Copies of this chain bind each other. A is one copy, B any other.
Amino acid sequence: MARISESTVRRLSHYYRVLEEVEAEGGRLISSHRLAEREGITSAQVRKDLSTFGSFGRRGLGYSVAHLREEIRSILGLDRRWRVGVVGTGNIGTALLAYRGFARQGFDVVAAFDRERVGQRLGDLVIHDVSQLPALAPELRLDMGVIATPVRAAQEVADLLVKAGVRGILNFAPRKLFVPAVVTLRNVDMTVELESLSFALAQRRRVRRRSPRD
Number of chain A residues close to chain B: CB under 8 A: 61
Q: How far is the CA of A190 from the CA of B107 in the complex (A)?
A: 12
Q: Are A13 and B195 in contact (CB under 8 A)?
A: yes
Check: A101 CB closer than 8 A to any chain B CB. yes
Q: How far is the CA of A128 from the CA of B96 in the complex (A)?
A: 25
Check: A156 CB closer than 8 A to any chain B CB. no
Q: How far is the CA of A170 from the CA of B200 in the complex (A)?
A: 12
Check: A192 CB closer than 8 A to any chain B CB. yes
Residues of B within 8 A of A192 (CB): 10, 13-14
Q: Are A196 and B186 in contact (CB under 8 A)?
A: yes
Check: A95 CB closer than 8 A to any chain B CB. yes
Q: How far is the CA of A196 from the CA of B107 in the complex (A)?
A: 12
Number of copies of chain A assembled together: 2
Q: Are A198 and B82 in contact (CB under 8 A)?
A: yes
Q: Are B167 and A201 in contact (CB under 8 A)?
A: yes
Q: Are A143 and B194 in contact (CB under 8 A)?
A: no
Q: Are B201 and A107 in contact (CB under 8 A)?
A: no
Residues of B within 8 A of A202 (CB): 75-77, 80
Q: Are B102 and A196 in contact (CB under 8 A)?
A: no
Point out the residue from B12, B40, B174 that lies within 8 Å of A199, measured CB to CB: B12
Knowing A184-B201, A197-B186, say if A94 contacts B91 (CB, 8 Å). yes
Knowing A40-B178, A202-B77, say if A184 contacts B170 (CB, 8 Å). no
8 residue pairs, one from A and one from B, having the closest CB atoms = A77-B202, A91-B95, A168-B197, A184-B200, A77-B198, A13-B192, A13-B195, A186-B193
